[in-house]
C-alpha cells in the first residue's frame, strides 16, 4: 500500500490540472504522501476519477469508480466491473443437458455493476461474521460452504454497513448477491456456448464431479473466463438474489456446470457458496 501511495504521490505532484503546480523540484521530493496532503477540503469525486484514469491506481482513495477494478478493503475481496450490455440468457433447444427452465431470452443492462472476482472464502466470511458455517473441508482459501440465504444476506448487509462506516461506500451503493441474469452475463463473458470456454467440458476450467481429489478447491485455482472471473462454473453453487443457485459444484455433472444451468431454491447444502455484487440503487 505504501508503494502505491508513493507512486500516486509522484503522479499527482506532476499533474497540475488536479492540485496545482508544485514548487518542489524532483530532487527535493522525498516520496512521502505527506508532501501533497490537502488540508482545507476532501478530494472530489471528479479528482478521484481523474486519478484512476492515469492508470496503475486501484482503490487508493477507497471509493468505487465505475469502470475500474475495486477491492472491498475490510476483507480484501477483489471485484471486476461489468459494463452495460446485452446478452442471450438461457440455452438453445439443441444444447446437451438442457432443462426446460432454460428458455432463451435477450437481456439488456442499462447500468453496469461490480461482481466479485472470486467466490467468498472461509477466511473472508469468518473475518467479517466471526464464524464459519462449514464443518468439513475447512481451509482459509476454500470457498465458504453450507451457507443459507440468510447467511448471504447477513454477510452483504454487514459488509455494506462496515464499508459505509469507514467512508468507503457512498450511500447509493450497496453489496448484494447478483441476480440470475447478472450472474449469467458475467459467467458467459461474451460467449454463447454451453460453457464460457467452449462447447465441451474442460477440466482445466472447472472443478466438477470427475475431478480428483474430490471436494472443493481453493478459489482461483482454475483458469478464469474472458472477463477475469474465476470458478463461475463448478467448485460451489452460488446463491443469486432470485433465490436460485447457479454454476454447479464439485459434486455436479458436466451438464449441471453449464452457463445456463439453474438449480431451484434450496434452504442450504454442503455445496452452496456465493459471491457478492456491488450495485447502485435504482
Please give the Cα distance from 108 to 105 (Å, whole number).
10
C-alpha 104 chain-centroid distance: 25
Q: Are residues 167 and 266 in the same domain?
A: yes
pLDDT at residue 14, as a whole number: 36
Task: Retrieve residue 123's grid coordinates.
Answer: 477466511
Q: Are residues 53 and 112 in the same domain?
A: no
Strand order in the sheet with 262-263: 262-263, 245-246, 237-239, 272-273
pLDDT at residue 135, as a whole number: 79
pLDDT at residue 62, as a whole number: 76
**127 is a domain residue:** yes
Q: Are residues 12 and 135 in the same domain?
A: no
Number of folded domains in the chain? 2
Q: Are residues 40 and 171 in the same domain?
A: no
pLDDT at residue 264, as a whole number: 73
Which CATH number does the domain housing residue 150 bear? Answer: 3.90.1580.10
**Which range of residues forms the domain containing residue 53?**
1-61
| Average pLDDT along the chain, 282 residues, taken 10 residues at a time | 44 37 38 41 62 50 87 96 98 96 97 98 97 91 95 97 95 97 98 98 96 96 97 97 95 97 73 96 82
CA dihedral 216, 148, 157, 126 (to 10 degrees): -50
pLDDT at residue 143, as a whole number: 97
Amino acid at each position: 500500500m505504501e508503494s502505491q501511495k508513493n507512486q500516486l504521490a509522484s503522479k499527482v505532484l506532476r499533474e497540475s490540472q488536479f492540485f496545482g503546480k508544485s514548487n518542489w523540484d524532483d530532487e527535493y521530493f522525498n516520496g512521502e504522501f505527506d508532501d501533497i496532503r490537502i488540508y482545507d477540503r476532501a478530494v472530489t469525486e471528479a479528482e478521484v476519477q481523474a486519478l484512476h484514469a492515469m492508470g496503475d491506481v486501484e482503490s487508493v482513495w477507497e471509493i468505487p469508480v465505475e469502470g475500474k477494478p475495486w477491492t472491498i478493503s475490510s476483507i480484501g475481496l477483489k471485484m471486476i466491473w461489468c459494463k452495460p450490455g446485452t446478452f442471450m440468457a438461457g440455452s438453445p433447444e439443441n444444447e446437451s443437458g438442457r432443462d426446460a427452465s432454460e428458455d432463451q431470452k435477450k437481456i439488456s443492462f442499462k447500468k453496469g455493476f461490480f461482481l466479485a472476482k472470486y467466490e467468498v472464502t472461509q477466511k473472508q466470511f469468518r473475518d467479517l461474521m466471526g464464524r464459519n458455517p462449514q464443518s468439513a473441508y475447512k481451509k482459509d482459501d476454500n470457498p465458504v460452504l453450507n451457507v443459507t440465504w440468510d447467511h448471504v444476506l447477513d454477510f452483504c448487509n454487514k459488509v455494506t454497513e462496515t464499508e459505509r462506516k469507514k467512508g468507503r461506500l457512498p450511500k447509493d451503493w450497496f453489496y448484494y448477491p447478483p441476480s440470475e441474469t447478472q450472474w449469467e452475463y458475467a459467467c458467459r463473458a461474451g460467449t454463447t456456448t454451453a460453457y464460457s470456454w467452449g462447447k465441451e467440458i474442460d477440466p482445466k476450467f472447472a472443478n466438477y464431479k470427475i475431478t480428483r481429489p474430490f471436494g472443493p478447491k481453493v478459489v482461483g485455482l482454475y483458469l478464469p473466463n474472458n472477463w477475469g472471473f474465476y470458478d463461475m462454473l463448478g467448485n460451489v453453487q452460488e446463491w443469486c438474489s432470485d433465490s436460485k443457485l447457479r454454476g454447479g459444484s464439485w459434486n455436479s455433472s458436466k451438464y449441471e456446470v453449464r452457463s445456463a444451468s439453474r438449480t431451484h431454491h434450496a434452504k442450504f447444502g454442503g455445496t452452496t457458496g456465493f459471491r457478492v455484487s456491488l450495485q447502485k440503487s435504482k
